[in-house]
Amino acid sequence: MKAWHDECGVFGIWNHPESAHLAYLGLYAIQHRGQESAGIVTLDGSVHHAHKGLGLVDEVFKEETLRSLRGTAAVGHVRYSTTGQNSLNNAQPMSASLFNGPVALAHNGNIVNAEPLKQDLRARGSIFQGTNDTEVLLHLIARHDSQDLLTCIRDSLERVEGAYSLTILSHKALFAVRDPYGFRPLVLGTMDGIGGRPAYVVASETCAFDLIGARFVREIQPGEIFWVDETGEHSVMMTRQVPRASCIFEHVYFSRPDSVVFGESVYEVRKRAGQTLAAQDDVEADIVIPVPDSGVPSAIGYAQKSGLPFELGIIRNHYIGRTFIQPSQSIRDFGVKIKLNPQSAVLRGKRVVVIDDSLVRGTTSRKIVNLIRAAGASEVHLRIAAPPTIGPCYYGVDTPEKSQLIAANQSLESIREFVGADSLRYLSMEGLRAAVGGQNGGFCAACFDGKYPTNLFGLEKDPHGNVREVV
């Protein structure tokens, strides 16, 4: 279940007559990656048209707006702030007018040395409009004295540490860039374009390609700068070589199950995680239920492996807007009940295994266990299809600071007591590693093992999960 929002999604398209409309659909497909703001910038001849706003994709863009975003190439972005506040100044793509033309940049990830870079840029006269780390990238690019945008991008990124999957639109090219660790996903696809030539599409997740009918070609490689212009497609690798560290949490929670991420189907990964959870379990129970929607694939895997019947013991209301009117009189568990309704007909008198994808603060699980029990279950056994979350993320996933992570501070037994379950088990780290499969190189699992692949430059998260620098 989604307890709070996070992260971002990026999109790019080149050589298509309906670039704004396809960017809109692409962003629609990756809306789960960010719900606070959305934006599209198109390239029309050598001019950019931009529209961005606060809200969901279909709130920010109407048909009329999309029609005014003329052009044959576009970049787009959906955002929830992991750094900076929620304001229009922070909405992306971020645009700048460079001496040789306009540039628009969309960024997914979090730059860990943004503060030192900002201080340096400010000392040299840069003025920042917003509070996010993406603007730093734009300033670095803008300050470079080369006339060649590729050189500007490449040299600027040499100074940047952390997570970035980028789509960048200039007056004559679309760039797709991924940091050398490959933290965040970024995929390349094609479809029929203008003049018998292909259209190129770049997106955070393959589910965006499915919607617009694009063919998946490959991942943008960690450390790759890919671009397409009038002369066709090109690619160079950054000089920096580091071990691959793709975000394991993309598979656990963040990506859509119908996407192929880091070369593996997210649905299959989650199912395997559930199967392993069952293989490591000896609980006696009557039914397996998921916490919808996040626990569904793992619960299917668990049920298949254990032979227990899979049931929908909790029904999710999908039509919750971002604000709803609360009754003035307090109703118990109102917040979670408006979204999740336990079915007594399924749960009464049953020993229930309930599966969720992750347990972070424990507050959601506690409410859910309570609801299941109140609906008549005789036993509630909570199973988590990931290891205990013990570390905050500094690479773009919205996890709170360490003091709020229940597993970083309490024993398994006291977590079980807190959530009120009869038993509690997590997937082992080895189980998760086996489930995510063999991609070339490794994963960043810092949220589960506390091993951060980069220097953190003294970053810390405050209790709300906002990144701040401690000096």
Nearer Cβ to ligand AMP, position 163 or 291? Answer: 291
For ligand AMP, give the closer residue by CB, 156 or 389.
389
Residues binding ligand AMP (CB under 6 A): 1-4, 6, 253, 291, 294, 356-365, 397-399
Overall size of the chain counted in residues: 471
362: region left, alpha or beta (phi > 0 left; psi from -120 to 50 alpha): left
Q: Which is nearer to ligand AMP, 84 or 180 (CB)?
A: 84
Which tokens sit at 260? 């192929």
263: left (phi over 0), alpha (psi -120 to 50) or beta: left
Least gap, CB of 341 to ligand AMP (angstroms): 16
Residue 307's Cβ-count burial label (10 Å; 0-12, 13-18, 19+) is: exposed
Q: Cα angle vertex 253, ends 252, 258, to 5°?
A: 90
Question: Considering only CA atoms, which of 164, 129, 137, 165 is closest in space to residue 153?
Answer: 137
User: What is the C-alpha to C-alpha distance for residues 417 and 413, in angstroms, rounded to an integer?
Assistant: 6
Min separation Cβ 4 and ligand AMP, Å: 5
CA–CA distance, 301 with 204 (Å, rounded to integer): 26
Distance of closest approach, residue 163 Cβ to ligand AMP, in angstroms: 14
d(CA 139, CA 44): 24
- Asked if residue 50 lies in contact with residue 104, where contact means CB atoms within 8 angstroms, the answer is yes
What's at 398, amino acid-wise?
D
Residue 8 known to be catalytic? yes
Which amino acid is it at 343?
A: Q
Whichever of 65 and 363 has its CB closer to ligand AMP, that residue is 363
What are the distances in angstroms from CA 42 to CA 16, 24, 142, 171, 213?
11, 11, 20, 10, 20
In the complex, the smallest distance separating the C-beta of residue 335 from ligand AMP, rounded to whole angstroms, is: 11
Rounded to a whole number of angstroms, the minimum distance from the CB of residue 425 to ligand AMP is: 15
For ligand AMP, the closer of residues 48 and 416 by Cβ is 416
35/7 Cα distance (integer angstroms): 9
224 or 356: CB nearest ligand AMP = 356
Instruction: Please check whether residue 305 is in contact with residue 274, taking contact to mean a CB–CB distance below 8 angstroms.
Output: yes
Active-site position among 8, 152, 247, 444: 8
Q: How far is the CB of 74 from ligand AMP (least distance, A)?
A: 28
Q: How far is the CB of 364 from ligand AMP (least distance, A)?
A: 3
The Cα angle at residue 334 between residues 333 and 338, in degrees rounded to 5: 120
Closer Cβ to ligand AMP, 176 or 207, answer by number: 207
- How far, in Å, CA of 370 to CA of 364, rounded? 10
What tokens appear for 197 in the block?
Answer: 């030539």
Backbone angles phi, psi at 142, to 5 degrees: -65, -30
Active site residues: 8
